[in-house]
Chains A and B, each alone.
Chain A
């Protein structure tokens, strides 16, 4: 129980270390796609996939290191809500793109 000086240890929101790690990872994950696009390193489709992967990775980094999704009290309604929200978002975006592809024929 070393955290007792930080009164309110039951809703302790991370440490300086976790914020700094999150910040550095975010910067790296921003610079990599930037360099990839500015130097035209790969062909277009590969680049699009890679930069989207980096964006998703950065989202996950911020979720864990900045928003501390794991630290909520159990049961983790916040995580359940988030997963439901992401399923809806994915359905809207993927569904819209998919169905509008047929518009071009």
Chain B
């Protein structure tokens, strides 16, 4: 921190502000950890109920892996591009940053659309929440993740508008840091969903 500061007072003020924003990032991190516990509970429920088909269709019969594989790579790539947005932010490039966020949002939207298609397909095949314990656990777990991604999309669009208006400030910087944490977290949850629900489901 060898940067020259003419106004010692101004520097103190800014530093205090930045520290406050850092604290908010920690606060958001704690939310993410509690969200982990939410998903942990849903995973536990799924793990317990995953063999209870009540004579109805099984995951192996209905899952269509190509679509799931596509969603997996789409979400993984969007996690990467949200990281690139943070990199652009650290370089102070607002336009580049908004573009990467836009790419992330488009990929996220593609993921949600694929998921809606999948759910519609499953319901057509006669697998709804009421079909069996397996499908209840499935729709709750996968649906909760999909809901998180959808909420993240609205947040992302709102943030892009704010960035366009205000540029990179300590506040928008903190918000983008939190958003990218959230997005990486959703990708991590999906990795486990993909492994436990789909890969183990088709075995």
Contacts and interface: CB of A to CB of B under 8 A. Distances in A.
Interface of A: 1, 4-16, 19, 22-23, 26-27, 30, 33-34, 37-38, 44, 47-48, 51-52, 54-55, 58-59, 62-63, 66-67, 72-73, 77-78, 81-82, 84-86, 88-90, 92-93, 95-97, 100
Interface stretch (B104-112, B147-155, B183-191): B183-191
Contacts of B185: 67
Contacts of A81: 29-30, 33
Contacts of A4: 2-3
Contacts of A5: 91
Nearest to A47: B203
B13 to A, nearest CB: 16
B37 A51 contact: no
Interface of A is mostly: helix
B184 A37 contact: no
Of B39, B86, B195, chain A has the most CB atoms within 10 Å of the CB of: B195
Given A73-B22, A81-B29, A81-B30, A86 B36 contact: yes
Interface residues of B, number: 51
B87 interface: yes
A62 B199 contact: no
A33 B193 CA distance: 13
B157 interface: no
A80 B90 CA distance: 26
Nearest to A73: B22
Contacts of A23: 76-77, 80
A47 B196 CA distance: 12
A11 B89 CA distance: 11
